[in-house]
Structure 1
């Protein structure tokens, strides 16, 4: 039995093009298996524990009373869990006012409060950024958070990566 017949088939069964396609699929399968088997799971980026301090400004008393330690905060848009409230500090809200002498002084706003909230959470930490969900956690960035019952419009004051 000849290797190629009159129709160009190998051993009378396979077309040369069919053989080429089978060889390509086989080579790609072996290469893919090799790549996957050599992947090191320790190279994957895993979330690291962080401590985040945020400030929520100019809240009414009723809005301050619902915020409690232990609440789970999520990103407003994505619903990704940022972390758990560790500590809530409440201060009277203030604003700058110009006096009759032309000086600028800080004055308390009646029935309004500023909150500094400490959050324990996890985020992806790389050489260039700290990311939670779709938000980059950088000092000065705005961060909108929510729970089941309330939402917070905040600014990041501190981001600390904890040692594991």
Structure 2
């Protein structure tokens, strides 16, 4: 009896393709369990925790009374922060101020100028918020939790009566003495 017959079966019973597929599956399982991939940031890449200030911009937040809402928001002093659907924890609200909505107005000399919108929307709010917290500084920037935060990252702020998104427009790493 031949080891491989004319139909490609070992000892007339098992196909060579089935044996090859079984070996590939075993090799993959061996690789998964013996050499698992590491996740997260390594200690070599991420430095020590440092105080950071993250400046965010909220545009077009719909609220019934924008001025009263900003005043109430300032009094809270803390808010929960969610970065890319990962809860970071509580951060300090260092400042919150209403930003006027600007419209671009052409000037007689051909230039354009941003001026406050004369037609105010009573239920829309633009706001500049500075948040303070602790982050790790790496070669790629600031890491909050396990997520890198850069200009343009959308953060979610959550409290007892609100949940909205804000875009990061500036990040500052502070000296330890200021904290």
Q: TM-score, normalised by structure 2?
A: 0.55
Per the alignment, residue 98 of structure 2 pairs with: 90
Given the alignment of the two structures, is residue 159 of structure 1 paired with residue 161 of structure 2, yes or no? Answer: no
Distance 1:89 1:73, change over 3 A: same
Structure 1 residue corresponding to 2:59, chosen from 51, 57, 60: 57
CA contact (8 A) 1:53 1:158 kept: yes
SS in 2 for 1:120: strand
2 CA distance for matches of 1:82 and 1:160? 18
Per the alignment, residue 33 of structure 2 pairs with: none
Number of corresponding residues: 122
Distance 1:64 1:149, change over 3 A: same
State the 1:128 CA deviation: 1.5
CA contact (8 A) 1:82 1:122 kept: no
Given the alignment of the two structures, is residue 74 of structure 1 paired with residue 81 of structure 2, yes or no? Answer: yes
CA contact (8 A) 1:50 1:123 kept: yes
SS in 1 for 2:160: coil
Structure 1 vs Structure 2 CA RMSD: 3.2
SS in 2 for 1:110: coil
2 CA distance for matches of 1:155 and 1:161? 18
2 CA distance for matches of 1:153 and 1:96? 25
1 CA distance for matches of 2:163 and 2:69? 9
Q: Which runs of 5+ in 2 are unaligned?
A: 1-42
Matches within 5 A, 1:3-152: 45-59=47-61, 60=63, 61=66, 64-69=70-75, 70-75=77-82, 77-81=85-89, 83-96=91-104, 108=117, 109-111=120-122, 112-152=124-164
Q: Which runs of 5+ in 1 are unaligned?
A: 1-40
CA contact (8 A) 1:80 1:132 kept: yes
